[in-house]
Amino acid sequence: MNEVKICGASSLCTPISDGESHIPQSVLVSTDQRCSSSSVQYTPEIEKKYVHRVYDAIAPHFSSTRYAKWPKVATFLNSLPSGSLVLDAGCGNGKYLGLNSGCFFIGCDISAPLINICADRGHEVVVADAVNLPYRSGYGDAAISIAVLHHLSTGSRRKKAIDELVRVVKKGGLVLITVWAVEQEDRSLVDKWTPLTEKYFEEWIGSSSPHARSSPSITLESIPEAEENSLGEHVKGFKDLTSQSQDPLVTSENGQNLENQQEFFVPWHLPYHRAEVSGASACALANGLAKKDDKKGAVVYNRYYHVFSEGELERLVSGMGNAVVVDRFYDKSNWCIVLQKTI
């Protein structure tokens, strides 16, 4: 089996190996450099529990459902010049790696089980955090982030992930980003999602943050991004979530108001026949991370999503001095932008 390197913040800096590395050391930023930034050291608890742990648990089943390529992504990749090096941040099971046979691809994802799937398929991959990419600045000719940013729980983390995508490409390099849209084509799907409410607030920020000392009434475990603005952003987001207008026409099937709602739990149904052979599912059921649905014969996991409103991606990049938006479009319930690095 190929080596899978673990890169990123906090403890995610130790390689695990039973073979030769697929990625030359010259490609990667040094461990000290990757781990020195306090702004990406802390991951919000909601992402740890409802993104990282969930995708680790459902990886084989998730991968089996991810094989169709989005035409717009395929068009972007096939438009790149022959010989281009493409960095896929949040590559999942690697369905886009190698799509353009004339280009070279390197993928990364926070989920080690998904990266192991990619490595078994012969792809050049590494486990890494989207807000702290392990690549040297200006290394790639292009980068893609497909359905990743909506799993980051604050605006500062989403902006940092975009900054990282631009950082790792060369001047003139292109970056394609896609995210789930608030404006879903099939509104019946939204009815199956769970809007986040007050009961999830403590899991959003956690108890080991320095803010816990000055805010004893709030249980904190971790904070994202710079300390001076993270708590205020979380509190603002929480107030936004709990102060929606009470329009009875915009509700979920359980009667919850969805006007302007952007934070959701989206269920993933892992069939019993797959869950029975998964120790992760047994643990998830025991600790409350998942629940059984006997009617559907599945273990149900909740995945955290921040769905994007029209123009939100553009607003995140509006202050960037090293990139411009060269294309924007809506495709299959996703907002998408293409950036070009200018300096």
pLDDT in tens, 288-308: 889 999 999 999 999 999 999
The per-residue pLDDT of the chain, averaged, comes to: 79
Least confident range from 30-34, 41-45, 112-116, 162-166: namely 30-34
Three-state DSSP at 271 gives strand
Cα 286 from Cα 279, distance rounded (Å): 11
Q: Is the pLDDT of residue 14 over 70?
A: no
DSSP 8-state symbol, 193: S
Map tokens 């991606």 to a residue: 313
Residue 20 vs residues 5, 14, 25, 104, 135: alpha-carbon distances, Å: 10, 15, 12, 19, 19
The DSSP-derived string for 304-342 is EEEPBPTTHHHHHHTT-SSEEEEEEEEETTEEEEEEEE-
User: Which H helix or E strand runs over 106?
Assistant: strand 104-109
Q: Which two tokens stand for residue 186?
A: 């099939």
Domain architecture of the chain: domains with CATH: 25-182+309-341 (3.40.50.150)
The DSSP-derived string for 257-269 is B-TT--EEEEEEE
Helices (H) and strands (E) in the chain, counts: 13, 11
More confident residue, 225 or 259: 259
- Position 93 scores a pLDDT of 97
Cα 291 from Cα 186, distance rounded (Å): 26
- Position 290 scores a pLDDT of 94
pLDDT digits (tens, 9 = 90+) for 63-86: 999 999 999 999 999 999 999 999
Least confident range from 9-18, 132-141, 333-342: namely 9-18
Q: Residue 303, CB half-sphere, CA atoms under 13 Å: how many?
A: 23
- Contact criterion met (CB below 8 Å) for 270 and 58: yes
Percent of the chain having pLDDT more than 90? 62
- Position 36 scores a pLDDT of 35
Q: What torsion do the CA atoms of 220, 224, 228, 234 make, to the nearest 10 degrees?
A: -60
- Position 86 scores a pLDDT of 98
Q: Which two tokens stand for residue 327?
A: 């294309």
Residue 33 vs residues 58, 79, 168, 247, 322: alpha-carbon distances, Å: 32, 33, 14, 49, 22
Length of the chain in residues, anyone?
343
Question: In terms of DSSP bridges, do strands 263-271 and 169-180 run parallel, antiparallel, or are they unpaired?
Answer: unpaired
Least confident range from 15-19, 75-79, 185-189: namely 15-19
Least confident range from 26-40, 55-69, 302-316: namely 26-40
Question: What average pLDDT does range 127-141 have in this prediction?
Answer: 97
Own/partner pairs, 339-343, CB within 8 angstroms, 24+ separation: 339/162, 339/165, 339/166, 339/174, 339/175, 339/177, 340/172, 340/173, 340/174, 340/175, 341/166, 341/169, 341/170, 341/171, 341/172, 341/173, 341/174, 341/175, 342/171, 343/171
